[in-house]
Amino acid sequence: MNQDARKIRLVMELRQSGINDTQVLSAIERVPRDTFVLPTFVDQAYENTALPIEEGQTISQPFVVAFMTQALEIQDRSKVLEVGTGSGYQASVLSKICRRVFTLERHRTLLQQAEANFKALGYHNIVTRHGDGILGWPEQAPFDRIIVTAAAEEVPEALVEQLAVGGIMVIPVGRQSWSQSVVRLRRTDQGIEREDLLDVRFVPLLPGTTRRKTGVGSSTENHS
């Protein structure tokens, strides 16, 4: 089976799993996931599974990418902050739906890889930064949407403060890898509304930044 056929099969699987936002499905179909995986995993690029990338991180399971993107309820004029660029796949999917993506990554080597991927694919509405995702990107706030692709023990207050009124944040929350869930926060004039959406397993959201390459990891991220 060639990559195009595998991609079509993946999109059909996502639709059958409850992903019904046509913009999200279209973005998944148009973004070449094989660009964002390690060479040894190219044959698995369109399988519905998380895969290891450098720095002990993962490229998320396509269902989780689609689910979290759908949960954001993105509009075409939305200004989106992503915390955790990784190799750039989630940001690329977002870029097909919203006006502009601001994406933060604590691992400089991963960010450089993602930037090369964006350039190669001609994705020009993604702005990158090497920084501490827990602190967000205050100079560019407020954001209409915020997505975090690593699990926080608690929702970072700085990110909540950078969410516009009427905005939505989607973030995995949980102190243990076996008790995490994707949480959706809506900021209203009255405060924050919270709902738990999906049980997941993500790599942890860590403070600070790194510069040194630490090798390929084997951590996994999936919904359970």
C-beta separation of 81 from 105 below 8 A: no
Asked if 60 is an active-site residue, the reply is: yes
Length of the chain: 224
**Cβ within 8 Å of residue 126, ≥6 positions away:** 88, 91, 92, 95, 100, 101, 103, 118
- Alpha carbons 125 and 82: distance in angstroms, whole number: 13
* Residue among 60, 78, 87, 95 flagged as catalytic: 60
CA distances (Å), origin 74, targets 20, 90, 95, 217: 14, 14, 11, 31
- Alpha carbons 171 and 143: distance in angstroms, whole number: 15
DSSP state of 183: E
- Alpha carbons 155 and 141: distance in angstroms, whole number: 17
Residue numbers annotated as active site: 60
